Structure 1
């Protein structure tokens, strides 16, 4: 059994951690109750940008490490789903972004003509924008190329699972609330609308880190993603028609052509926010099994995926 690891969770954190472990020589299986295409990760807009995630200093390190990986993956966007795309974060100032901003080679104050009418402050940046369905499929292929596998299945006890393999890695996101159990993990509901892109090539965000709604437009291949919401402790997974209409109306204030764009679909994801911060920690269970936790990434799972995966993988005993 030496070197065997089961990673629980098939979203971006689980698959990225599994890739890291498999490429270090471990025999890795990912067990997921849902196909990756149905996880919260698949719903994400995919913009590399720390959002609703703590603790800030560690987040900066993980985000910058992930940035370096995404910049490399952007050399083959058709395969990996990663592109470097310019855009404007409205209402932000460069000196208020956090230490991760220093790693961005292309970041500056937005020029007046780059800002929507009525706004006087913002930052322009070229950052990774990840087409999540493509990225998740690519991660699975990379895992399988390294000898790993993905299997369907629901895990109800980390302790029971740890009796079958030396190490279990917990990347269950919101599921950690019941599985660990960790009641500090809470959902922050995000709803978005997919529309035909009327020609928008740059992303735009007007995020409120504390409020229940935000506005963003993210151009992805074949669609434009419009958002969004940040509804705390809201477990609803079905789209709300009134919310969708409000999202389109807000986005149309900044790009009027959005108002008449054909709607392609609606998506809802529950961000796994943990006020105590991301948990990356090894836990020795009473029966002798080892569980490595990697959860609580809030609204920035994509942003910190590779940094957190490497930190978690480093807690697994080497082969």
Structure 2
């Protein structure tokens, strides 16, 4: 195989295009909008397997991506930073298998956990260092990287994969179109959106992030970046609503300020809503029924950045060298 078309230009599609081009393929990307206008641009882009079912494959891809992003953090201009922070957990049965992929982490004792959380039975916390990406900077860097490798891009809304196979005549096609992937393939009823709303505040000088996924009032996370702080969020399963809800934003800010009081008085810089492409399990596989090899890579939930390089490597392995 030499010519490969990738449908989708978010963080998954770009990472796949990069790895295929490195392997020697001639790659064409086609998508209705580029990465800076996709759901990838809404993400807080902190390495963490959020809204994705845990499995050996997910953990392996997360480890691969952690190492790749850690390397990119040492390079100027990528927008990736290694940042220390805290994962707060309110339940004893919370899945912590992700810690195997994090070299620098330590369990907190009860004296280090906020009083409102330690009161929960089985409450705990993990302090660790993980990659965080400034999404617009990282996505622009990744776009430039694939273009430098000779990847061609085109803007079009793909409605029929067979038309792409007929018109482009690639040797293989990869579907990495996020939430639209299932509809394009037409053989998947396991995919659904998870609506995520965020508000971005001016950064008063914070560098450490914190997450409180099990907050009874709603999913809560605070992720400082260079000049802003991403505050979230929501996890509305099955919702296709992409409009910002002012009342939801107020609730997000209340929870974020309770967790990080230093945010009080900081102005709102921007706000956004994105639909996380969730699935019962991440789909990375060959798809039968076409006259050319077709591969699927989607269903990453809130872990697109976290699994991007690992799953891109999986797709490159399935397709093989040019």
Tell me the TM-score normalised to structure 2 length.
Answer: 0.92
Deviations 1:2-38 (A, max 9, x none): 5111100010000000000001000001111012111
Cα separation, 2, equivalents of 1:212 and 1:7:
40
Q: How does 1:168-247 map to 2 (within 5 A)?
A: 168-181=173-186, 182-208=188-214, 213-247=218-252
Secondary structure class of the residue paired with 1:289? coil
Which of 124, 128, 133 is equivalent to 1:130?
A: 133
1:269 is aligned to 2:269: no
Task: Give the match's secondary structure for 2:117.
Answer: coil
Residue of structure 2 equivalent to 1:84: 82
Shift of 1:315: 1.5
Equivalenced residue count is 314
Q: Which residue of 1 aligns with 2:310?
A: 307
| 1:30-49 aligned within 5 A | 30-49=29-48
Q: Does 1:139 align with 2:142?
A: yes
Q: Secondary structure at 1:25's aligned position in 2?
A: coil
Measure how far apart 1:113 and its partner are.
Answer: 5.8
- Paired residues of 2:89 and 2:214 also in contact (CA < 8 A): no
Equivalent in 252, 257, 278 of residue 252 of structure 1: 257
Picking from 269, 282, 287, the partner of 1:283 is 287
- Larger deviation: 161-170 or 60-69? 161-170
1:64 aligned partner = 63
Tell me how far apart the structure 2 counterparts of residues 197 and 117 of structure 1 sit (CA, whole Å). Answer: 25
Q: Deviations over 1:204-242 (max 9, x none)?
A: 000139x89311100011101100000011111111000
Q: Distance in 2 between matches of 1:84 and 1:111?
A: 24
TM superposition score normalised by structure 1:
0.93
- Cα distance in 1 for residues equivalent to 2:295 and 2:90: 36
Any gaps of 5 or more consecutive residues in structure 2? 119-123
